[in-house]
Amino acid sequence: MSFTIARTLDEALAALAAGARPIAGGTDLVVGARHGKAPLPADLVAIDRIPGLAEVTVTAAGITIGAAVSHHTLEGHPLIASTYSALADGSALVGSPATRHVGTLGGNIMNASPAMDTGAGLTVLGAEVELRAQAGSRRVTLADLWTAPGRTSARPDELCVAVHVPTPAPRSGSAYLRLEYRRAMEIAVVGAAAAVTLAPDGSVAAVRVALSAVAPTILSLGGLETLAGGSVNDVAAAVAAAASQQATPISDVRATDHYRRHTVGVMARRAVAAAARRAAGETIAIPVNRSIGIGAAS
C-alpha cells in the first residue's frame, strides 16, 4: 500500500511505471471501493496537484483540456459553453456541485463507464485523448480508447494528460441530453449528444450523434452521412430512428431495454434539435436538460 501525491508529471509517470494507479478526484475510485464495487488499488498516485494538468488552453486547432480539469470548470467555462456546448452540457449534469468540484474530465473518460456524461459529447466533437507514459505520448480517438465497460486501451503506465477538441466548423452547434427521473443526482438512463453544422440555407450540412448507456461503450451512430441536406426536423427524425435501431441496451433496475431503446431515440432527436438551434446562433443555457423541456426551471 502506498499513496503518493505527485508534484510533477514526471513523478506521476514514474509512479505509474512502478505500478501505481492514478487517482484524480476519486469520485469513481473511492466511491466504487466504498460501495463494494472494486477494492481500492493498493498503490495510488494523486494527480490533482500537478501544475498545468488542470488547465484549459486554446490552441490553433481548437482547445486542449487538461485531464485534471474539473466538471465545475467545464460547465462554467465561457468558451466551452459557447463552442463545445455538448461537453459543458454533460459536465453540468454530473452528480452534485461537490462531485463536479472534485470529479475530473480525465477520471470520467478513463473510468470508461458507458453511462458517462461527457463521453457522447466529446465523441461528436471529435475529441482525441493524449496518453503519456515515461517513454512518450500518443493520441488516440475515443473510439479506440474505450473497449468495454470500465476498460480502455490505455496501458497501465499511461496517464491521460489532456483531451484535444478541434474547433468546430462555422455554423455548428452541439448539445447533450440525458433521460433522468429527477432533476439532479441522476445517472444517465440513456443519453445522446449531437453536433450539427448548418448549411447557409438552414439545412443540415453535417450531423454527428453519439449515445450513452445503450451499449458497452459510448455508441457513435453510423450511417448519418446520407442525411446531409435534409431539414433539421427530418434529420432529427431520422437520427431518432437510427438511434433506437442501433442501440443495444440492457434491462436493469433503472429501465428495460425496450424503454431505453425508445427513449434514446427521443434524446437523440432532441439533441439534434438543440444542437441545430445553437448552430443557428441561439443561446440555450448549459445544461440543455435544465433549460428546456420537462427539466426546465419552473
Cβ neighbour number for residue 244 with a 10 Å cutoff: 20
Closest-CB residue for ligand FAD?
A: 107
First to last CA, the chain: 50
CB 215 within 8 A of CB 256: no
78 lies in the binding site for other proteins (CB under 8 A): no
Among residues 108 and 197, whose Cβ is nearest to ligand FAD? 108
Among residues 25 and 62, whose Cβ is nearest to ligand FAD? 25
Among residues 206 and 277, whose Cβ is nearest to other proteins? 277
Q: Order the strands of the 219-220 sheet from edge to edge.
A: 172-178, 191-198, 204-212, 219-220
From other proteins, ligand FAD, none, which one binds at residue 128 (CB under 5 to 8 Å depending on kind)? none
- Phi, psi (degrees; rounded to nearest 5) at 187: -130, 145
Residue with cell 448507456: 213
Out of 14, 17, 56, 102, point to the residue binding other proteins (CB under 8 A): 102
Q: Which of 69, 77, 73, 75 is nearest to 93 (CA)?
A: 75
Secondary structure letter of residue 166 according to DSSP: E
Cell of 3: 499513496
Contact region for other proteins (CB under 8 A) — 94-102, 104-112, 201-209, 213-221? 94-102
CB 92 within 8 A of CB 287: yes
Among residues 67 and 273, whose Cβ is nearest to ligand FAD? 67
Annotate each residue in 244-283 with x if it binds other proteins (CB under 8 A) or - if it does not, as one string.
---------xxxx--x--xx--x-----------------
Q: Report the half-sphere exposure of 197 (CA within 13 A, side-chain side).
A: 12
Residue 102 Cβ vs other proteins, minimum distance, rounded to whole Å: 5
Residues engaged in binding other proteins (CB under 8 A): 1-3, 5, 23, 26-27, 30-31, 33-35, 40, 44, 46, 48, 72, 95-99, 101-102, 179-185, 187, 253-256, 259, 262-263, 266, 290, 293-295, 297-298
